[in-house]
Amino acid sequence: MSGHAAGPDHPLERLVFFSDAVFAIAITLLIIEVHPPHLHAGSPWRDYVDALVALFPSFFGFFVSFFVIGAFWSGHHRAFALAGQYSERLVGPNLQMLCAIVFMPFATAFMSANLGALVPSLLYAGTLIATGLLNMRLVRVTTSAGIVRPDVPAIEIAYTRARGGAVVLGALLSIAVAFWVAPFSQMALLTIPLFQWLLRRRITRRFARTA
């Protein structure tokens, strides 16, 4: 254990820096999977427009996954900001969650190349569910006794732990929509902010009743 009582010790900082790098690489890989069209010199402008329009599924997948990975990074940042010291218990759950994050560019590319197909939609939603569950486990460890700062309010811990559940709920809804009308399954992910608001509201009411 480090003697730094006022902030995270060195191993915790290394873990956060490594995680930030993995998130950055995963987000960058999303756009690398979108290959720019190559047309013959002198092609009419309409061909360029048509080529860009044909990339719409890839652009759609990029933007959806960019903000999804960004949401996971935001949750990771928020959780580790509450940590007061390093613990070996963080390493395994953190690596497992990052593994799912790194897999997401492949799931995105597969879904984008086959937009509207059932299996790619299910793989993408399943990846989000797995990532969300692993993230929830990591956040719970990060905000557990012995790791979380003692001055963090209980309601702040509850808010932080609930954020990951919104992604899981949105992805589960996406799976349900995929079996009904697969081309619109990703639209269900737009409900993630709504689920975050509902979960936060539920926590606020629960703490208000116990106050």
The predicted structure's pLDDT at residue 9: 56
Tokens 């940042």 -> residue: 77
The predicted structure's pLDDT at residue 211: 65
Residue 180 lies in a domain: yes
Residue 5 lies in a domain: no
CA distance 172 to 166: 10
Residue 28 lies in a domain: yes
Counted domains in the chain: 1
Residue 4 lies in a domain: no
Residue 2 lies in a domain: no
Stated pTM of the model: 0.85
CA distance 107 to 101: 10
10-residue mean pLDDT series, the chain (211 residues): 49 93 95 83 84 86 90 93 93 97 94 88 94 96 94 93 90 92 84 91 90 65
CA distance 56 to 109: 12
Residue 3 lies in a domain: no
Question: What is the residue range of 25's domain?
Answer: 10-210
